[in-house]
Amino acid sequence: MSSHYEAPIRKPLIIGDKNYHDVTVDVARPVEGRANKQWWIAFSIALAAFLWGVGCVAYTVGTGIGTWGSNKTIGWAWDITNFVWWVGIGHAGTLISAVLLLFRQKWRMAINRSAEAMTIFSVIQAAMFPVFHMGRPWLAYWVMPIPNQFGSLWVNFNSPLLWDVFAISTYLSVSLVFWWTGLLPDFAMLRDRAITPFTKRVYSIVSFGWSGRAKDWQRFEEVSLVLAGLATPLVLSVHTIVSFDFATSVIPGWHTTILPPYFVAGAIFSGFAMVNTLLIIMRKVSNLEAYITIQHIELMNIIIMITGSIVGIAYITELFVAWYSGVEYEQYAFLNRATGPYWWSYALMMTCNVISPQVMWFKKIRTSIYVSFVISIVVNIGMWFERFVIIVTSLHRDYLPSSWTMFQPTFVDAGFFIGTIGFFFVLFLLYSRSFPVIAQAEVKSIMKTSSETYKKKWASEGHGHDNHSHSENNHH
Amino acid sequence: MKAIYKIALLAVASASLTACFDKSAPNYQYMPNMYEAVPYETYSEHAVFPNGKEGQMPAKGSIPRGFVPYEIPNTTEGYEASKANPSPLDSVGFDAPRAEQLFTIYCAICHGDKGDGKGNLPKREKFLGVPSYKDRVITEGSVFHVETYGLNAMGSHANQLTQEERWQVARHVMNLKSQL
């Protein structure tokens, strides 16, 4: 290992005396073991919330959108708020697995699998809102340009809502493929460890006969890199397209060119917060503290801090431009946000999104698991209110004062949202007990560069930094 | 073998999807949201009406805008009186091509294109006794009267033709009579 150069400043990503087998055992343990009582309690709660949501959706579809709190002025409220919120949450998964791969961030390896799972599960939640906020969801297939008997009547490709269809469906399918490709070696590991015929069979099917030959690995790496290269523009464009739903409108408060990057930044912000929430729990309950270390949490906190600051700049930019524009409607839209009847939601959004990430400047705070957990939840509340504020406060007071009104959600609005949270956790809890939650193949690939064991070894052998930098100097 | 299996599967699937279509009955509909009319459509049946029909009779004696009631009664005296009833059409109001078309549609099947009583139905002996216009003492007013009320074997044509159209046809009949 003397030829290897790794800066000694880098802290280990795998702590404890782990070898390859330990990684396998640690990753396989939650899958091979039995669910404990807490898991069943959490699962039951999530399932109940999900079923309640199913009931609310069935009631909406059966009775009509009038069961919601939306009205003639505010046609979009909780439905699209929740849609954008869930899509935003999903973005962190792709960010972690694709963008961090492009930037060769080794710390992503312990968290990418769960982040991608989170992406897929939250995009599924998001995708339900565009369908069920339709007045006639049974005709949802009309959004597809399918040749038909109406003289081949097609869709108009000018609507961002149609772009949403393409964006979300592409995003879900690419994320699914990316995730599943990465899962193949790990499923193969579970297959090879399986002791019951049933699990053997299941993991044989899902691992697609992965045998881990050199050629397979070479192609696996290339596919991962290509998919990461594809997923990165995709992830940026998906939330951009979602933001176009608002940015391309003529509503004061919506019609802004800053929306695309600002929505993407917000998506990363809320997505990383959700990853933090989930992983802080997961590392504890699945005993993965050796892989999802405090350093991982700190790095995610730093990203939350950076994107939170970007979002904060966007808020200030919006306010500045509103003032600078001289357009009284735009100025009123922001005055209304700050001092109107929904001032509390604006205040909540500002507090949660602008102030809370700034505490991450303090090392003591960003390396504290408890504070990180609280902040990650605060951020997601704030980001929910950001979407709510953008949508509802812009709509409820715009051009004609005669159309000004208020929005009051009903229990069905809330029930649908609670149902998606329940469904998300149903999927995530099932995932955490049947899927390898850490990409063990990837984690093993950094064993010799970033694990505590090897770091210690080099330090004791005097290899690494000093020796290597000498030879580096000799070369030059 | 696999291809044959797939084709068979496709055939079975498409057959099962189309098998339930019955040519003698209206086909199945997918979510017929606005297929059935909410308002009462013309000629439709509704239990809400006394005789179940959408087309209800107007009140007796009511006169719609743009309509002039025909005052001469449907009697022998009325028929005689109608002979002196002048046509409201002047030379500009008479539309010869349209009058001929209307005559061809509503009259020529019995009276013949020339008005000689040799229409398709008498020629094929479906019924007989359609006279030639040459043999009858008629005026524009009496033709209008007969078109309106019918006479002997002929029924009223007031349902098919408006008043104005009946006057058009009446003049066309007189033109045919002059050529016989």
A198 shares contact with chain B (CB less than 8 Å):
no
Closest CA to A137 of A79, A52, A62: A62
**Nearest CA among A40, A182, A56, A206 for reference residue A111:** A182
Q: Rounded to whole angstroms, how far apart are CA atoms A406 and B11? A: 56
pLDDT score of A453 = 81
Two structure tokens written together for A329 = 């409607």
- pLDDT of res. B46: 92
The strand ranges marked E within B56-140 are none
Taking contacts as CB-CB distances below 8 angstroms, the residues of chain B near A138 are: 31
Q: Which residues of chain A have pLDDT under 70?
A: 1-3, 462-476
* Alpha carbon of A63: minimum distance to chain B alpha carbons (Å): 14
What's the pLDDT score for residue A462?
A: 66
Per CB-CB distance under 8 Å, the chain B contacts of A139 are: 31
Measured between beta carbons, which residues in chain A are less than 8 angstroms from residue B31?
A: 136, 138-139
Cα end-to-end distance, chain B, whole Å: 82
Residue of chain B with shortest Cα separation from A135 = B33
Please tell me whether the interface predicted TM-score (ipTM) of this complex is above 0.85: no
Is the CB of residue A139 less than 8 Å away from at least one CB of chain B?
yes
Q: Which chain A residues have a beta carbon less than 8 Å from that of B33?
A: 136
Instruction: Please answer whether residues A278 and A114 qualify as being in contact, where contact means their C-beta atoms are separated by less than 8 angstroms.
Output: yes
Instruction: Report, in this order, helix, strand and coil percent for chain B, each rounded to 5.
Output: 40, 0, 55
DSSP B134-148: GGS---HHHHHHHHH
| B-chain residues near A136 (CB < 8 A) | 31, 33
pLDDT at residue A473 in the model: 43
Q: How far is B9 from chain A (nearest CA, A)?
A: 24
Q: State which residue of chain A sits closest to B31, comparing Cα positions.
A: A138
Single pTM value for the model: 0.87
- CB neighbours of A425 closer than 8 A, spacing ≥ 6? A42, A43, A45, A46, A49
Please name the residue of chain B whose CA is at the shortest distance from the CA of residue A138.
B31
Q: B29 to chain A: which residues are within 8 Å by CB?
A: none
Which residues numbered 24-53 in B keep a CB inside 8 Å of some CB on A? 31, 33
Q: Looking at the complex, report in whole angstroms how far the Cα of residue B39 sits from the nearest Cα belonging to chain A.
A: 22
How far is the alpha carbon of B13 from chain A, nearest alpha carbon, in Å?
20
Segment 119-138 of chain A within 8 Å of chain B by CB: 136, 138
Please give the interface size between A and B, counted as residue pairs whose CB atoms are below 8 Å apart.
4
Cα A297 to Cα A356: distance, rounded to the nearest angstrom? 16
pLDDT for residue A452: 82
Min Cα–Cα distance to chain A from B33, Å: 9
Run means of pLDDT, 10 residues per run, chain B, 180 residues = 85 80 88 92 92 92 90 87 85 88 93 88 90 87 92 90 92 89
Residue A435 and residue A429: Cα distance in Å, rounded?
A: 10
Q: Measuring CA to CA, which residue among A211, A122, A206 is closest to residue A168?
A: A122
